[in-house]
Structures are given as C-alpha cells and as structure tokens.
Amino acid sequence: MAVSEQAAAPLKIGRKAGLLKGMWSGISVLLASKIAVVGLAIVLFWVITATFAPLFTPYTPLEQDWKAPNQGPSSAHILGTDELGRDLWSRLIYGARVVLVLMPITESFWLPGGTALWGVIVALIFGATLGLVGGYYGGWIDEIIMRLLDAMMAVPIILLYMLIMAALGASAVNVVIAITIVGTPGIARLVRSLTLDIRTREYIRAAETRGENAWHIMFMDILPNARGPIIIDAMLRVGYAIFAMGTLGFLGLGIPPPSPDWGSMVAKGREFILTGSPWAAMWPSIAIASLVVGLNLLADGLREESMRYQ
C-alpha cells in the first residue's frame, strides 16, 4: 500500500524525536527547579564516587595501616583513619557502593543496584500490586488488604525493623526484605488513593467496554498514569531506606562486618568521639545525612515543578 509506506517513513523519525523530546522535557523540568538541581548534585556525587570507587582512592576499604589509627585528615588519608587504621574516605565511598550501586548476595555474587534501591523496588512491586487490587476492585477485597496493612503500620517502624532483622539474621538480602515489609503499606496506600481517582476516568470505562481483563486495566491503563507521584514517593523512600540501613548497621543488625557499612562505622567510631578523634563517627553521619537530604530536595523540587506544569 503506497499510502501507508509514505506515512510510515516520517513516523519512524517521529518516534525517535519524540523520545528525545520527552527526555529533554523531563530534564528541563528538573533543571527549572533550583532545589532539585542541588539535590541532584548531591545524589550524583555519591552515585559517581561509589560507582567508580577504585578510581577515587588508592586504598581498599579493608586495608589496615597499624601505624596510623584514629587519625584526622591528612595528605595520606584525606578524611583520616579509623581505629584499625583503615582509610575513612575509602570506607565511605565503598559503603555508598553497597547502598546505591551494588548489592552483595553472597561473597562473590553482587547484584547491580544498591541495597536501598532494591529494597524500594521490591516494596514498590508489592505495594503497587496491593494498592491497585484494593483500589480497583474495592469492596471487601479492599477492606481486607487495607486493614492488614493498617495493622502493619501500627507497629513502630524501628521496632518492626529490629524484629525482622533479629528474626532473619543480618545480611543484605534480609535488609532488602525488611525495607520491603516496612515500605509496602505506605506505597500501597498511595497507589490505592491514586487508583481510586484514576479508575473513574472515562478511558478506564473505555477499556472495560472493550472487555479488557482486570490485570490489564490495572497495570497497563491505571499504573502508567499514577507514575508521577509514585516516582517522587520512591525517591523519598530511598532516603528512608538509607536511613534505615544506617540505623540497622548502627545496631549491628545491618550488613555484616568487615564490609564497609555507614551505620556500623558510626557505631564503632562513637567510642572515640570523646577521646579526641570524632572523625570515624562524623564522616559516615554526614554521608547519611547528605544523601537523605539530597534525595528529599530532589523529590521536593520535582514535585513542585511538576505541579506548576499542571
């Protein structure tokens, strides 16, 4: 068919241009907000240093320098050393690796994507599914799901974390499980409320009159339209997850030593704060705070800017 060929040629170009244009418009929204740019800079700093950690430091995080324990910043060790003489900068950025870039499954097998990210992704999968099902079906299904999740939310978060980790034991996989269990109810609530709104739109009626099955409607028609708030919420949740990892590490329930972990670094370094070398505790605290603040700024900036665009 001549007509369709003529039509098809410009269409292909159109698609590529459309994708680029879409990405550019996303980036321009982000750049329009100063808050988001600051947040992005902080987050990118950690992601880049963590990803290319070996390039940014001559030491490994486990290398011990017996001659120089508990030192302040110097030209050899830019952030100083801990009580075993390990380089704090190396431990810091290798610690960021575990949080943001790689997740240790076993000694030799590492999964791409940091522990905190995996926790939030798995929580998103469960939370979104439960929220969609509850919101779309409504009735007693919704009632059961939401009451169960309410019950989970009634337990204080820190207690829940400790219970789960104590029961499962300390490992990266178990941290992911803990983050998932704690994060799911909140995500489910958010997705449910978005679903309740979106399911009343006429394009959902159109899908129903087409006889689409419920899963198609939920995941193909409703979920894509809820993505904006979900992405922003997920960014905040990565921040919470980092915070939670820090807490668990501090309590000795996080990723087991000797692998560098910000929380356990604070826990170890805390003993030496009063003896005149606060560095070992201070740097990881600052790292956690900066990353959480960075993610919050990013999410806030994006939210404000995307609201303004509506």
Partner 1 sequence: MQNSSTAPSNTVLDVNNLQINYETRKGDIEAVQGVSFRVAEGQTVGLVGESGCGKSTIAFGIVNFLGANGKIVGGNIRFQGNELVGRSQEELKKLRGDRISMVFQDPMQALNPSVRLGEQLAEVLTCHRDISHGEAWERSIQMLKRVNMPDVENLMGRYSHQISGGQQQRVVIAMAMLNNPALIIMDEPTTALDVTVEAAVLDLLEELKQDFNAANIFITHNLGVVARVSDYLCVMYAGQMVESGPLKEIFRDPRHPYTMGLLACVPRLGDSKLESLLEPIRGRVPPPAERPKTQCIFAPRCDYATEECRQARPGLTEVIPGHLARCIYALEIQNRKRTRKRRKVEGSAAHAQVEDTDEDLLKFDHLKVYYTQESNSVVSLFGMGEKKFVKAVDDVSVRVAKGRTLGVVGESGCGKSSLVKGLIGLEPITGGNVHFMGLDTNMPVTERDTKLIKEMQMVFQNPDSTLNPSYSVGSQIARPIRRFKTVPRGQVKDEVIRLLKAVRLPPTFYERLPRQLSGGEKQRVGIARALASRPDLIICDEPVSALDVSVQAAVINLLLEIQQVFGSSMIFIAHDLSVVRFFSDDIAVMYLGQIVEIGPADAIYLPPYHPYTEALLSAVPIPDPDVEQKELRLSGNVPSALNPPSGCRFHTRCPRRQEMLPDGGKICETEVPPWRTSDRNHRILCHIPLEELRKIDPVVKVRKDDG
Give contact residues for partner 1 (rule: CB under 8 A): 1, 3-4, 7-8, 10-11, 14-15, 18, 201-203, 205-206, 208-214, 221, 224-225, 227
Shortest separation between residue 15's beta carbon and partner 1, angstroms = 6
Shortest separation between residue 163's beta carbon and partner 1, angstroms = 35
How far is 48 from 61, CA to CA, in rounded Å? Answer: 17
Q: Which is nearer to partner 1, 15 or 34 (CB)?
A: 15
Question: What DSSP element (H or E) covers 174?
Answer: helix 172-198
Shortest separation between residue 224's beta carbon and partner 1, angstroms = 4
Helical axes 279-309 vs 227-250, angle rounded to 10°: 170
How far is 300 from 233, CA to CA, in rounded Å? Answer: 10
What are the φ and ψ backbone dihedral angles of 87, each rounded to 5 degrees? -70, 120
Q: How far apart are the first and last CA of the chain?
A: 41
Q: Which is nearer to partner 1, 21 or 125 (CB)?
A: 21
Strands 110-112 and 102-104: antiparallel
Shortest separation between residue 183's beta carbon and partner 1, angstroms = 24
How far is 167 from 158, CA to CA, in rounded Å? Answer: 14
Q: Which is nearer to partner 1, 16 or 67 (CB)?
A: 16
Shortest separation between residue 87's beta carbon and partner 1, angstroms = 48
